[in-house]
């Protein structure tokens, strides 16, 4: 079977790697397209190293640009590359621009399309990710859902039940695999921190970092929090660029984006995480670490339902929420978040291919 796996941005690499290796175990030889949506060493190459992935077979090198320019560059490269490969199936992950572009290109070229992480909904159309995930699901022939609530969303939207496979959360496969290395790394020690004594933060969503006033307010609360508990924030390039541009100063521990094994290590040692990331909400929930999500909504409501994640809209409410939740770990269990998602996806793809079902989907 000719399978193409598509990645472009940091969270994609975490999701692609388990499937790449599971398919290899079944004797398949998946090809990897990297669009180059993320290209900094810390957001791209470091993940290939941590997950022991070979160089991508195709690199588009689109670089940073506006969302639409990025998507249009990817579309035109995808057409040529996919016409050359003639894959049986293209697998896209998550909700980034690369996901949408390769979904549109595959569908136009009548190639079977599978979406890993189907069915998540924030119901907030102002988020580019919501546009990407809803459109990708609409185009996909095979929908791999991470949880039963996401499956419900797909059914409510009228997707054919036979196209939906509830397989679990593939990010958790990576987490489970890398966890022993991350535990052993004790990366907090390198920053002079004590296990269970600090806050870990990540920030990169446009709603938080592209508005000068809001970014100032958030950084000023983190500065204030740092006087009470140490705060570590691996700065996403987008956030750093805006802080530099607007002269916003961090008093807390602001470091480069971390490679996965070090970030997971810091997460494991933290007493609480503040984030606007999608994946980090899930990882903290799996680990039972309290998480505060600085957003008005989430496409991952299961993390709130489990009681580990709390949405905080306004930076002014952050201090109180941190005080209330610091160190309050909670045991959680979500069906199918068990490290075997990539295996389940591989089995579905192989059985559809054996039955010659791709063409009839």
Residues that bind ligand UDP in the complex, under the rule CB under 6 A = 10-11, 14, 171, 202, 204, 234, 257-258, 260, 263, 277-280, 283
204 is annotated as an active-site residue = yes
Residue environment code for 272-297, b if the CB has 16+ CB neighbours within 10 A, otherwise e: bbbbbbbbbbbbbbbbbbbbbbbbee
Instruction: Give the active site residue among 204, 226, 236, 262.
Output: 204
Q: Sign of torsion, CA 58 128 15 167?
A: negative
Q: Could you tell me which residues come within 8 angstroms of residue 244 by beta carbon, excluding any fewer than 6 positions away? A: none
Taking Cα atoms as reference points, which of 50, 10, 5 lies closest to residue 277?
10
**Phi and psi torsions of 82, nearest 5°:** -70, -35
Question: Please, what is the minimum distance in Å from the beta carbon of residue 271 to ligand UDP?
Answer: 17
- Under DSSP, is residue 174 helix (H, G, I), strand (E, B) or coil? helix
Residue number with CB closer to ligand UDP (81 or 92): 92
- CA dist., res. 263 & res. 261, Å (int): 6
The half-sphere exposure of 8 on its side-chain side, counting CA atoms within 13 A, is 29
**Token code pair at residue 157:** 């939207």
Question: Please, what is the minimum distance in Å from the beta carbon of residue 197 to ligand UDP?
Answer: 20
Q: Which residues are marked as active site?
A: 204
């Amino acid at each position: 079977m000719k399978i193409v796996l598509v990645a472009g941005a940091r969270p994609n690499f975490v999701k692609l790697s388990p499937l790449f290796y599971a398919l290899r175990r079944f004797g398949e030889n998946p090809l990897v397209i990297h669009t180059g949506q993320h290209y900094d060493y810390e957001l791209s190459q470091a993940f290939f190293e941590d997950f022991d992935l070979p160089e991508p077979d195709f690199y588009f090198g689109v670089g940073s640009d506006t969302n639409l320019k990025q998507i249009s560059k990817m579309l035109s490269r995808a057409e040529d590359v996919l016409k050359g490969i003639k894959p049986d199936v293209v697998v896209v992950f998550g909700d980034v621009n690369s996901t949408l572009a390769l979904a549109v290109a595959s569908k136009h070229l009548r190639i079977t399309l599978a979406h890993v992480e189907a069915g998540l909904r924030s119901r907030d159309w102002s988020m580019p990710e919501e546009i990407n995930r809803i459109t990708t699901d609409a185009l996909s022939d095979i929908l791999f859902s991470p949880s039963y609530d996401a499956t419900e969303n797909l059914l409510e939207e009228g997707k054919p039940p036979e196209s939906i496979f509830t397989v679990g959360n593939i990010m958790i496969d990576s987490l489970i695999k890398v966890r022993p290395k991350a535990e052993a790394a004790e990366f907090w020690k390198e920053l002079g921190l004590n296990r269970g004594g600090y806050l870990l933060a990540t920030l990169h969503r446009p709603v938080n970092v592209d508005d000068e006033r809001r970014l100032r307010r958030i950084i000023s609360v983190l500065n204030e929090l740092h006087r009470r508990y140490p705060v570590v924030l691996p700065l996403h390039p987008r956030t750093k660029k805006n802080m530099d541009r607007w002269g916003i100063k961090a008093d807390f521990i602001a470091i480069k984006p971390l490679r996965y094994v070090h970030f997971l290590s810091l997460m494991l040692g933290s007493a609480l995480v503040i984030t606007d990331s999608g994946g980090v909400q899930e990882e903290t929930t799996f680990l039972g670490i309290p998480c505060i999500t600085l957003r008005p909504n989430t496409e991952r409501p299961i993390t709130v339902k489990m009681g580990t994640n709390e949405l905080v809209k306004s930076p002014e409410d952050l201090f109180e929420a941190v005080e209330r939740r610091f160190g309050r770990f909670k045991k959680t269990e979500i069906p199918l978040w068990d490290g075997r998602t990539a295996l389940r996806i591989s089995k579905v793809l192989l059985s559809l291919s054996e039955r010659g079902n791709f063409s009839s989907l």
